[in-house]
Structure 1
Amino acid sequence: MVDPRDPGTLALPLNFKRPRGRPRKPNALTAAERARRYRARKKTLSMHVVSLAVHQEVMRERDGALSQVRQLRAELEHLLQQLHR
């Protein structure tokens, strides 16, 4: 705004127009870069697939270890009870 009483004020041109949409980030990826990263991510995920036989063997070992832990805890409780008598 120009103040009519102040001779030193100037009228500024306020005619810039902002583009539509969200402004671009300075480090934005191109579509090709995003696609390359997507393909690489899918490739690494497909490499981590475990066969059913290996999974079943691991689960069997886990179940055996858990039963051994239960047995050892019961034995520990029994020994502690004998110690406190």
Structure 2
Amino acid sequence: MEPTKTETHALVEFIDVLLRDGAVVQADIVVTVADVPLIGISLRAAIAGMATMTEYGLFENWDRSRRQRAQPPSSESKTLED
């Protein structure tokens, strides 16, 4: 019996693992001209779903403020007309 998994499922599984578990990408880049280093760039990016990011303590304030903005105003709060 041969496996029937197609390549399209691999991409979906990769994205699922990336969002669920996350990944950290780190790169150091040096821009040179005529063997003379001119610019040094150090990059670091954390890539994950928002649930994973907040679980690790990243973007908690941002997530909280976005959720508060998305909630409709409560009936207890006063409007300018009152």
TM-score by length of 1: 0.28
Structure having greater relative contact order (Cα 8 Å, sep ≥ 6): 2
TM-score by length of 2: 0.28
Bigger helix share: 1
The structure with the largest alpha-carbon Rg is: 1
Bigger strand share: 2
